[in-house]
A and B are shown apart, each in its own frame.
Chain A
Amino acid sequence: MKLVIQILQSIGNTDNAGVTVRLAGSLDTSTAPELENQLQSIFSQPQKDLVFDLADLRFISSAGLRVFAIARKVIKEGGGETHFINMQPQIQAVFEIIKSLPGVTVFRDMPEFDAYLTARQRSFTDRAE
Chain B
Amino acid sequence: MKIELNAVPEEIMRAVEILSQYCQENKIPEKIIFSLKLALEECGSNIINHSLKKDKDKKISVILKITDNLITVELYDQGPEFDPTKMNLNDSRKMIGERTVGGWGLELVRQNIDEMSYLRENNTNILTLKKYLFEIV
A residues with CB within 8 A of B:
1, 26, 28-31, 59, 61-63, 65-66, 69, 90, 94, 97-98, 100
Interface size class of B (residues with CB under 8 A): 20 to 34
* Interface residues, chain B, with chain A CB atoms under 8 Å away: 9-10, 12-13, 16-17, 31, 34, 37-38, 41-42, 44-45, 48-49, 96, 101, 104-105, 107-108, 111-112
Q: Is A97 within 8 A of B12, CB to CB? A: no
Q: Is the CB of A61 within 8 A of B41?
A: yes
A61-B101 in contact (CB<8A): no
Instruction: Name B12's contact: one of A1, A29, A62, A90 (CB within 8 Å).
Output: A29
Q: What are 12 A-B contacts defined by CB distance under 8 Å?
A: A1-B13, A28-B45, A29-B49, A30-B9, A30-B10, A59-B38, A62-B108, A63-B45, A65-B101, A90-B31, A94-B38, A100-B101
B44 (CB) vs chain A CBs: closest residue: A29
Q: In the complex, A98 Cα to B34 Cα: how many Å?
A: 16
**Chain B nearest CB: distance from A32 CB in Å?**
9
